[in-house]
Amino acid sequence: MSTLVSEDASMDLETVGWVGDARSGHVRLIDQTLLPNEFVRIDLTDVPGVWEAIKTLRVRGAPAIGVAAGFGAVIGARSGTDTRLSLREATAYLRTSRPTAVNLFWALDRMDRVAAEHPELYGAELVDRLLTEALAIESEDKAMCRAIGAFGASLLTPGQGVLTHCNAGGLATADYGTALAVFFSAHAAGKAIHVFADETRPLLQGSRLTAWELQRRGIPVTLICDNMAAQVMKEGKIQMVVVGADRIAANGDAANKIGTYGVALLAKAHGIPFYVAAPSSTFDLSIPDGSHIPIEQRDPREITHGFGRMTAPAGIDVYNPAFDVTPADLIAGIITERGVITPVTTATIQRTFIA
């Protein structure tokens, strides 16, 4: 149940949003699987459509998935005669779209909770309240990302070169990103910076998404293969590295896209500060350190059959970890919506979040 809405790129780019009122509105999101060749927004008017969009990575990035799921719950709630029952069925179903995505569960739990907290609401009134909550998830994300951008931009000096890995951009959030928010904010403040984007094998989020986001905002960006980062650092082109995070342990160890740990080691070897940009919801204070974060293995075909043709021998053994963990001692600071945590220790993190 999707309609294609192709349109010109505009500067303020909403990754996922709500169109219309609570009764008849729907989800509209950028189909990220088509980028950068096609910029297409799709309209999703039922829960299976939202489920499929999350499942197939049309929408990806923890915060963006949370926003999409919240809106999906609104659509689900109004799909039957019993609003509460329909909501429960929708949130249960949406949870199966990406079982490992922490923000998906967080957003759906929040939708269920707001219904439970308002037993007095029925039908259209409850749907109205649910949309208010989903819009709050979206607007809170927008505000957090802008705060991260502002704090991070203060660390940058005009003329500096920066490097990022994967896509922690607007496309991974409601609209402004985490690591890329730092660059957007610096650029908006008139600080001339030059971004080097790792292409980020195997799925090329760096070349497909990060390079595209920076290019359309007019921020100078140079695309490199992942294995060129060391050479670019050696040539003195990089003064700071900023990446996102999927999950941060209580001591600051940070899980992020595979390759991030290597970039952190290369940055250290060249004396370049390495920063992580992430909202407070990324911290998991229940795990003491990164050794408690399991490393997901992904489909070997992402490596052997990337982009439409086979580029490795048939039957070859492949190791394809989805992410790695960068130890806190390689991280100069974590840029959050509450400020920059530095040095990165269990104590400084606790001070930030339990105050």
State the catalytic residues: 246
Residue 123 touching a second copy (CB under 8 A): no
Residue 15 touching a second copy (CB under 8 A): no
Amino acid at 22: A
DSSP-derived secondary structure for 195-260 = EEEE--TTTTHIIIIIHHHHHHTT--EEEE-GGGHHHHHHTT--SEEEE--SEEETT--EEEETTH
Beta bridge mates, 274:
241
Residue 240 touching a second copy (CB under 8 A): no
Closer by beta carbon to a second copy, 130 or else 224: 224
**304 within 8 A of 310, measured Cβ to Cβ:** yes
Q: What is the DSSP letter of 127?
A: H
Query: Which member of 319, 347, 354, 355 binds a second copy (CB under 8 A)?
Result: 319
Q: For the CB of residue 263, give the shortest distance to a second copy in the complex, in Å.
A: 8
Q: For the CB of residue 250, give the shortest distance to a second copy in the complex, in Å.
A: 20
**Tokens 């802008």 sit at which residue?**
146
For residue 113, give the nearest of 137, 97, 82, 93 by alpha carbon: 137
Residue 304 touching a second copy (CB under 8 A): yes
CA 151 to CA 145: how far, in whole Å?
10
Closer by beta carbon to a second copy, 49 or else 259: 259
Q: Which stretch binds a second copy (CB under 8 A): 14-22, 51-59, 80-88, 215-223?
A: 215-223
Q: Which stretch binds a second copy (CB under 8 A): 53-61, 83-91, 120-128, 262-270?
A: 262-270
Residues that bind a second copy (CB under 8 A): 36-37, 165, 196, 198-202, 204, 207-208, 211-212, 215, 220-232, 234, 258-259, 261-263, 265-266, 268-269, 295, 303-304, 306-321, 324
